[in-house]
Amino acid sequence: MRVFANPVGPGTLWFDNLATADGTPVAYDPQARGFIPMPPFCANREALGCNWIAPEPGSLCRACAMTTVVPDTTVADAIPHWAATEAAKRWVIDNLGRWHWFRPEDPGTRPSFHMLAEGPTPVQMGHIDGVVTISVAEADPVLSTTRREALQEPYRTMIGHMRHEIAHMLWWRLSLRADFLDAFRAMFGDERADYQAALQRHYPDGPPDDWRASFLTTYASAHPHEDWAETVAHLLHLTDICDSVAAGLGTTVLPDPRWDAYAEPDTARLIEVAVPIVTGLNHANRAMGLSDIYPFILSPVAQRKLAFVHGWIRRGAQGL
Ligand SMILES: [Zn+2]
Ligand SMILES: [Zn+2]
């Protein structure tokens, strides 16, 4: 994801900002791919924190309008979880828009999202005929981490779910093309293989021992459809990490690789090098739906304190 220009003053805006640093409300225009300081705002702005513009006052933005089933808001935390889910969806829809998917120039079907809260029974996420079903409960970090550990997955986030499930929808769109299916089957295998039987085999048996030779994840080895979805999700991860790091780093020239951070005596120089690096890494983590690697602000006072401790600590234990 890129970093955006502030339309009303200096500085930059992140994709999910609702206001500038000085509090001016702004909205993201997904068609122009930029921020504007005026309504019409999406009707979900107050309730869900959606910062996109709407086509007319009181209506939903392009992304929120794709949600055709909303969660049962009487379930605990359904609204904050739904808000986080819509944020991940906006991010991925905007990513795909860079390749013209689901924009006005795309004449094809849009995905329709069923956003479901979870009761005692887990919601099965998936895609059927253009409908993507998402469990908003997966926005809860405790639930997500518990499931990630139970399934022995290295990575599980809402942005990852969005990329995976929308990938199934993209397969469905592409399968309408005469030239897609033969090429797909030559690369991934025949998707007409019994899906339920494949999953029933996958869960007790696990992946083949040599799965790493052919698949990005163990789940990808379950069935050609899952291999496709996992592979598309990873293409989106890698492209967006590159886009985000490049945008986050900006134009700052990084030091020579031989530069030794521990030998640097100038705290201002250390901070000057560190800020674009942590900004780039934070932005890359956002591309993966992970927490910022360095979620702190270096105020002028904090920088003076850092210079003070830098001076004392880098002397080492000499003279003690
Ligand atoms: Zn919206
Ligand atoms: Zn899948």
Cα of 90 vs centre of ligand 1, distance in Å, is 8
pTM of the model: 0.90
Orientation angle between helical segments 78-97 and 224-249, nearest 10 degrees:
80
Positive or negative CA dihedral for 69, 146, 80, 90?
negative
For residue 2, being part of any structural domain is answered with yes
Please give the DSSP secondary-structure letter assigned to residue 174. H
List, for residues 115-145, the tens digit of each pLDDT value: 999 988 999 999 999 999 999 999 999 999 9
Sheet containing 126-128: which strands, arranged edge to edge? 67-69, 112-116, 131-135, 126-128
Range of the domain at 186: 63-246
Cα of 36 vs centre of ligand 1, distance in Å, is 15
Cα of 126 vs centre of ligand 2, distance in Å, is 6
Which ligand has the shortest distance to the CA of 18?
Answer: 1
258 lies in the same domain as 208: no
For residue 320, being part of any structural domain is answered with no
Which ligand has the shortest distance to the CA of 127?
Answer: 2
**Helical segments of 155-266, H only:** 158-174, 180-188, 195-205, 224-249
Which of 203, 224, 246 is the last residue in one of the domains?
Answer: 246
Which ligand has the shortest distance to the CA of 220?
Answer: 2
For residue 194, being part of any structural domain is answered with yes
pLDDT at 154: 86
Query: CA-CA-CA-CA torsion for 240, 242, 244, 248, nearest 10 degrees?
Result: 180
177 lies in the same domain as 301: no
Q: Which of 19, 45, 16 is nearest to 8 (CA)?
A: 19
Overall number of domains in the chain: 3
The 3-state DSSP class for residue 36 equals strand
43 lies in the same domain as 87: no
117 lies in the same domain as 136: yes
Cα of 178 vs centre of ligand 1, distance in Å, is 35
pLDDT at 190: 96
Which ligand has the shortest distance to the CA of 94?
Answer: 1
Positive or negative CA dihedral for 234, 44, 61, 113?
positive
Which ligand has the shortest distance to the CA of 224?
Answer: 2
229 lies in the same domain as 262: no
List, for residues 255-265, the tens digit of each pLDDT value: 777 888 888 89
Band (pLDDT 50/70/90 cuts) for residue 295 is confident
List, for residues 156-175, the tens digit of each pLDDT value: 999 999 999 999 999 999 99
Which ligand has the shortest distance to the CA of 198?
Answer: 2
205 lies in the same domain as 263: no
Query: CA-CA-CA-CA torsion for 259, 279, 33, 141, nearest 10 degrees?
Result: 140
Band (pLDDT 50/70/90 cuts) for residue 247 is confident
List, for residues 9-35, the tens digit of each pLDDT value: 998 999 999 999 999 999 999 999 999
Task: Kindly report whether the peptide bond that precedes residue 207 is cis, defined as omega within 30 degrees of 0.
Answer: no
Cα of 215 vs centre of ligand 2, distance in Å, is 14
C-alpha distances (whole Å) from 200 to each of 146, 158, 171, 193 are 22, 25, 22, 13
